[in-house]
């Protein structure tokens, strides 16, 4: 919607994999979203902008080839992956699906560009989770190394903490192979966890809201904490709560996509940006939600629960994230006003909150 509103011709492709997994795992979002065709229709009625919708599986190369041949895109923004770390750790079937889906879609998108639109710029959503939590500063994708008197430039070392995040590492390796071998042009965006319930377009009508999950499978931590605050459930801090991550507002995700599309990589270039605007520990996030709740008269409790994940709970974390700012990103920070606005929106849907979805159901250790 954001790109269409900026005057681009947009085709949106989806196979409802996210919705299907949400249904299978009882992880539906707080607000029910109309389907993609209906959303495109509502958006057109309200804004005048048209989005072409194609429903199909990007693992089907023929389907993707036909869309790319017909549309001849200048850019493809590739979001289409199974993006839940807990889902990927649930068991064999879920792990296999995540690996197969994510790598196959990435490989198919690469080949559709090579065969049908060789000048097309691929903007790929990666994740900060690819790096893990190294004890050195996280550069933007690349690291200059001096070893036994010789120097070289390599992809920054990556050691992900879930199978999902590992598929993103493998995606980056695939992209780099095809960039250096076949002159593909790619921007890989190492994105941190996103939060938010408001964009210029979704503010037009609640039926255009982004999917908003608060369960352990699809909910990201800030969204989860805010719903827990409204539900009157103590915020579920995993373990010591010293885990640091880099966060960004949904509005900034959209800015970053726009900036990446308008500053394409050259042929044979893999650009990598760290896509975040600020870093917090989980404890700091809980404090922020508590403070925002207080302003609205909501009493928010915080409670540490056993950590279902295998991850350091106290660690060094210093990502570099100047690349997108240099391109013009103007961050929307996580202020009390922003969190308060989200809380007010969630309050409207309070009676739909299902407490069953709030507590972690998947453990990293259970399936070993």
Select from 80, 226, 353, 358 the one that contacts ligand NAD (CB under 6 A).
80
Asked if 17 touches ligand NAD (CB under 6 A), the answer is yes
336 touches ligand NAD by CB under 6 A = no
Q: Does residue 98 touch ligand NAD according to CB under 6 A?
A: no
Cα(27)–Cα(348) distance, integer angstroms: 19
Pick from 49, 43, 54, 349: which is nearest to 202 by CA? 43
Residue 244 in contact with ligand NAD, rule: CB under 6 A? no
The least CB distance from residue 295 to ligand NAD, in Å, is: 25
Cα separation of 200 and 110, whole Å? 31
Candidate residues 125, 208, 265, 276; the one interacting with ligand NAD per rule CB under 6 A: 125
Choose the binding region for ligand NAD from 14-22, 174-182, 298-306, 321-329 (rule: CB under 6 A): 14-22
Q: Which residue lies nearer to ligand NAD by CB, 15 or 228?
A: 15
Q: How many helices (H) and strands (E) does the chain have?
A: 12, 13
Minimum gap (Å) between residue 247 Cβ and ligand NAD: 9
Residues with catalytic roles: 127, 164, 168
141 Rama sector, left if φ>0, alpha if ψ -120 to 50, beta otherwise:
left
What single string gives the DSSP state of each residue in 28-50?
A: --SSPPPPHHHHHHHHHHHH---
- Token pair of 211 as six digits: 């999917």
Q: Which stretch binds ligand NAD (CB under 6 A): 73-81, 237-245, 289-297, 324-332?
A: 73-81
For ligand NAD, the closer of residues 6 and 100 by Cβ is: 100
Q: Does 57 contact ligand NAD by CB under 6 A?
A: yes
The CB-of-340 to ligand NAD minimum distance in angstroms stands at: 21
Among 29, 83, 241, 293, binds ligand NAD (CB under 6 A): 83
Q: Pick the binder of ligand NAD from 211, 263, 304, 363 (CB under 6 A).
A: 211
Distances (CA, A) of 268 to 34, 65, 247, 278: 40, 22, 30, 31
**How many angstroms separate the CA atoms of 158 and 135, rounded?**
12
- In 3D, which of 63, 62, 64, 38 has the Cα closest to residue 51? 38
Interface pick for ligand NAD out of 3, 105, 120, 358 (rule CB under 6 A): 105
State the Cα–Cα distance between residues 31 and 353, nearest whole angstrom.
Answer: 9
Note whether 236 and 360 are within 8 A (CB): yes
| CA gap 322, 329 in Å, rounded | 9
Minimal CA–CA distance to 159: which of 138, 189, 187, 180?
138
- Who's near 190: CB < 8 A, 6+ residues apart? 126, 127, 128, 130, 131, 140, 141, 272, 273, 274, 275
As beta bridge partners, residue 58 has none
97 near ligand NAD, rule: CB under 6 A: no
Does 127 engage in binding with ligand NAD (CB under 6 A)?
A: yes
CB of 346 to ligand NAD, least distance (A): 17
Minimum distance of ligand NAD from residue 150's CB (angstroms): 35
How many residues touch ligand NAD under the rule CB under 6 A: the total is 22
Q: How far is the CB of 20 from ligand NAD (least distance, A)?
A: 8
Tokens at residue 132, please? Answer: 């893990």
**What track of x and - describes contact with ligand NAD for positions 158 through 197 (by CB under 6 A)?**
---------------------------------x-xx---
User: Minimum distance from CB of 297 to ligand NAD (Å)?
Assistant: 29
Residues near ligand NAD (CB under 6 A) are: 13-18, 57-59, 79-81, 83, 101, 105, 125, 127, 191, 193-194, 211, 220
């Amino acid at each position: 919607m954001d790109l269409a509103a900026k005057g681009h011709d947009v085709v949106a492709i989806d196979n409802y994999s996210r919705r299907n997994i949400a249904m299978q795992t009882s992880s539906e979002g707080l607000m029910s979203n109309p389907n993609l065709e209906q959303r495109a229709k509502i958006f057109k009625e309200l804004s005048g902008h048209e989005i072409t919708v194609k429903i199909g599986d990007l693992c089907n190369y023929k389907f993707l080839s036909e869309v790319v041949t017909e549309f001849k895109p200048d850019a493809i923004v590739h979001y289409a992956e199974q993006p839940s770390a807990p889902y990927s750790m649930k068991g064999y079937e879920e792990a296999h699906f995540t690996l197969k889906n994510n790598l196959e879609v990435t490989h198919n998108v690469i080949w559709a560009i090579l065969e049908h639109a060789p000048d097309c710029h691929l903007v790929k959503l990666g994740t900060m989770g690819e790096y893990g939590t190294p004890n050195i500063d996280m550069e933007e994708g690349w690291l200059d190394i001096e070893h036994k008197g010789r120097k070289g430039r390599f992809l920054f070392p990556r050691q992900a903490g879930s199978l999902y995040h590992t598929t993103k590492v493998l995606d980056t390796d695939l992209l780099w192979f095809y960039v250096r071998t076949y002159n593909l042009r790619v921007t890989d965006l190492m994105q941190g966890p996103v939060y938010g319930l408001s964009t210029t377009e979704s503010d037009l009508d609640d039926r255009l809201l982004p999917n908003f999950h608060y369960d352990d499978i699809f909910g990201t931590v800030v969204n989860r904490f805010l719903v827990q605050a409204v539900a009157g459930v103590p915020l579920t801090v995993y373990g010591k709560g010293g885990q640091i991550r880099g966060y960004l507002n949904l509005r900034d995700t959209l800015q970053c996509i726009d900036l990446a599309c308008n500053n394409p990589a050259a042929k044979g270039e893999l650009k990598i940006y760290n896509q975040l605007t600020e870093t917090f520990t989980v404890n700091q996030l809980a404090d922020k939600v508590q403070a925002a709740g207080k302003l609205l008269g909501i009493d928010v409790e915080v409670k540490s629960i056993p950590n279902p994940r295998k991850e350091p709970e106290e660690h060094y974390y210093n990502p570099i994230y100047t690349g997108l700012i240099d391109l013009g990103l103007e961050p929307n920070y996580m202020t009390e006003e922003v969190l308060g606005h989200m809380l007010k929106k969630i309050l409207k849907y309070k009676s739909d909150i299902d407490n069953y979805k709030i507590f972690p159901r998947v453990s990293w250790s259970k399936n070993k």
